[in-house]
Amino acid sequence: MSKTVMLKVTSAFLVGGELARSGEVVEVTTAEAKDLLHRGKAVLATAADEPKEPQGAGDDDQGGDQDEAEAKPASKSRKAK
């Protein structure tokens, strides 16, 4: 099992067959991370860059607001296949 690294995308590239756009946070293997960092496609993600769970994400019994359910996170975490 290889270790993974969280990166913040600076220039679009494919991760697991999906397009990772600038500003998104993605999870890739160490080898992929080295290549992407070397080519300037991404930078190491910081704790501030990590995607956050919306408050009450695990609460199924609360109906929630329709607008909150449709809100998209600022960044997505994707795992390389």
Would you say residue 55 lies in a domain?
no
Q: In angstroms, rounded to a whole number, what is the distance separating the alpha carbons of residues 54 and 74?
A: 11
Q: 8-66, pLDDT tens digit by residue?
A: 999 999 999 999 999 999 999 999 999 999 999 999 999 888 766 665 555 555 555 55
User: For residue 48, what pLDDT is reported?
Assistant: 87
Environment class of 15 (CB within 10 Å of its CB; exposed 0-12, middle 13-18, buried 19+): buried
User: For residue 61, what pLDDT is reported?
Assistant: 55
Would you say residue 28 lies in a domain?
yes
User: For residue 69, what pLDDT is reported?
Assistant: 44
User: For residue 50, what pLDDT is reported?
Assistant: 75
Global pTM reads: 0.62
Would you say residue 65 lies in a domain?
no
Would you say residue 17 lies in a domain?
yes
Domain that holds residue 80: 1-48+74-81
Domain tally, the chain: 1
